[in-house]
């Protein structure tokens, strides 16, 4: 048997960056034949967009790279901190919010880190493209590809 590792990526609204990261990671794990070792999900630190689909520009970016997603935004739960081995977030604000939430969970086992900490180009923060252009979503995609590839290589 093998141990299932959980990886989850969280962002405040869960409609821009994290759905891209989740879809990229799922595709890489599938392409590398290790998707069965992972529980892959994403969620938000707030409930603002619960149930929403990803931003249309993010979906267009993923389609351009032939990556599908059926993601719906959801809020992080206490169970996430007890279930997932890794919770990866996009910026310092996410990191603070998640660490605060985790501190109230008795049996939290999740290692909370910035997804950008795995970036070989050392771009630690993955900026929110919401108020930007299609190019900003492409930048998020490229960062997620680099970071997810490095994370997967390090943890497979």
Instruction: Say which residues have a Cβ less than 8 Å from residue 31's Cβ, sequence separation at least 6.
Output: none
| Enzyme catalytic residues | 17, 128
pLDDT tens column, 122-141: 999 999 999 999 999 999 99
How sure is the predictor about 1, in pLDDT bands with cuts at 50, 70 and 90? very low
Q: What DSSP string describes 46-98? A: SSTTTTPPPPHHHHHHHHHTT--------B--HHHHHH-SEEEESSHHHHHHH
pLDDT tens column, 36-78: 999 999 988 888 889 899 999 999 999 999 999 999 999 999 9
Domains, the chain, ordered by start: 5-155 (3.40.50.2300)
Model pTM score: 0.92
């Amino acid at each position: 048997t093998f141990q299932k590792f959980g990886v989850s990526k969280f962002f405040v609204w869960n409609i821009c960056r994290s759905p891209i990261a989740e879809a990229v990671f799922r595709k890489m794990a599938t392409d590398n034949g290790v998707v069965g070792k992972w529980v892959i999900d994403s969620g938000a630190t707030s409930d603002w967009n619960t149930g929403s689909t990803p931003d249309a520009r993010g979906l267009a970016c993923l389609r351009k790279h032939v990556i599908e997603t059926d993601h719906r935004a959801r809020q992080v739960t206490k169970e996430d901190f007890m279930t997932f081995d890794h919770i990866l977030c996009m910026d310092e604000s996410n990191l603070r919010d998640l660490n605060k939430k985790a501190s109230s969970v008795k049996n939290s086992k999740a290692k909370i880190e910035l997804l950008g900490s795995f970036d070989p180009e050392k771009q630690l923060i993955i900026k929110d493209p919401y108020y930007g252009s299609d190019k900003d979503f492409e930048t998020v995609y490229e960062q997620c590809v680099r970071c997810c590839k490095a994370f997967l290589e390090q943890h497979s």
